[in-house]
């Protein structure tokens, strides 16, 4: 197929069906510092936007999802249900390593949960498949992680783990660079397939201190982060696809 001949949304429908494919970020998972556990926030970006959209939202995102884990479910849902728009948010788990294995043997060859080239290939296949099913895909860039916070989180402030993981990494900042590499792949696929992309990452990085929008674990947006995501998505829709919005409501996250 030619990606120049992408499906355009019908502006005259009274309502639309949106499906979200992704991981814990799109599920709305945050770390509650008071309860000291992960919870699904009622103020996640999906919930914050729901009342402003002329659309029903089917959120299939799950904690721990990689693109490989989610792909079979994506195909099953796309084949069985009639959605107009597919929001796609993968990559955060794909670029991650098994840090316990790294700490146990830092000199060994360790690979991320999804190989970089495999991630790019699978994302291209996913976008292509959605287009062939006459749906309209939209990609999200990755919210930035906070590498120092995340490093302390998964090493649990264990000096042995820290030392060994650092031997493997060379520098804590490599965690950020590695995630950035996967984000670049998302941008590449968006350009290659002429697919709309909502630049969540830039919205975070434009803040005075994006760390204020990230949970203690360094990887999940907190409530402020979800509010920022919702505002960014709303602004994008307002500028590009205003017909998807309820005209009598003004967004207030």
Q: How far apart are CA 229 and CA 44, in angstroms?
A: 9
Q: What is the pLDDT of residues 41-76, one digit of tens each?
A: 999 999 999 999 999 999 999 999 999 988 888 888
Range 196-224 average pLDDT = 98
With bands split at pLDDT 50, 70 and 90, how would you rate the model's confidence at 239?
A: very high
Structure-token match 């302390």, residue found: 152
- In degrees and rounded to multiples of 5, residue 35 shows phi and psi of -80, -15
CA distance 56 to 49: 11
**Domain segments of the chain as ranges:** 15-97+115-145+180-244
Burial 1-13 (b: 16+ CB within 10 A, else e): eeeeeeeeeeeee
Q: Is 29 helix (H, G, I), strand (E, B) or coil?
A: strand
- Does the pLDDT at position 5 exceed 50? no
Report the top-level CATH class of 15-97+115-145+180-244.
alpha beta
Residue 56: CB atoms within 10 A of its CB come to 13
pLDDT tens sequence across 128-156: 999 998 899 999 999 999 999 999 999 99
Which residues in the chain belong to E strands, given as ranges?
16-22, 29-32, 37-40, 55-59, 85-89, 136-140, 197-198
**pLDDT confidence tier of residue 190, bands split at 50, 70 and 90:** very high
């Amino acid at each position: 197929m030619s990606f120049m001949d992408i499906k355009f949304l019908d502006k005259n429908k009274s309502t639309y069906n949106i499906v979200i494919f992704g991981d814990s970020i799109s599920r709305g998972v945050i770390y509650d510092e008071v309860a000291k556990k992960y919870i699904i926030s009622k103020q996640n970006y999906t919930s914050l936007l729901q009342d402003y959209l002329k659309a029903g939202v089917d959120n299939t995102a799950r904690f721990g999802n990689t693109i490989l884990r989610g792909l079979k479910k994506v195909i099953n849902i796309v084949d069985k249900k009639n959605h107009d728009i597919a929001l796609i948010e993968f990559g955060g788990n794909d670029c991650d390593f098994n840090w316990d294995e790294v700490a146990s043997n830092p000199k060994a060859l360790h690979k991320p949960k999804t190989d970089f080239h495999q991630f790019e290939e699978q994302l291209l296949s996913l976008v292509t498949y959605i287009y062939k099913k006459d749906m309209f895909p939209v990609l999200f860039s990755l919210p930035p992680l906070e590498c120092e916070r995340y490093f302390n989180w998964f090493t649990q402030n264990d000096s042995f783990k820290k030392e060994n993981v650092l031997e493997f990494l060379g520098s804590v900042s490599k965690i950020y660079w590695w995630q950035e590499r996967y984000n670049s792949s998302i941008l590449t696929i968006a350009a290659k397939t002429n697919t709309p992309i909502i630049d969540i990452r830039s919205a975070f990085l434009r803040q005075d201190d994006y760390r204020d929008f990230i949970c203690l674990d360094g990887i999940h947006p907190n409530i402020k982060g979800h509010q920022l995501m919702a505002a960014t998505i709303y602004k994008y829709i307002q500028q590009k696809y205003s017909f998807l919005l309820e005209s009598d409501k003004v967004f207030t996250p």
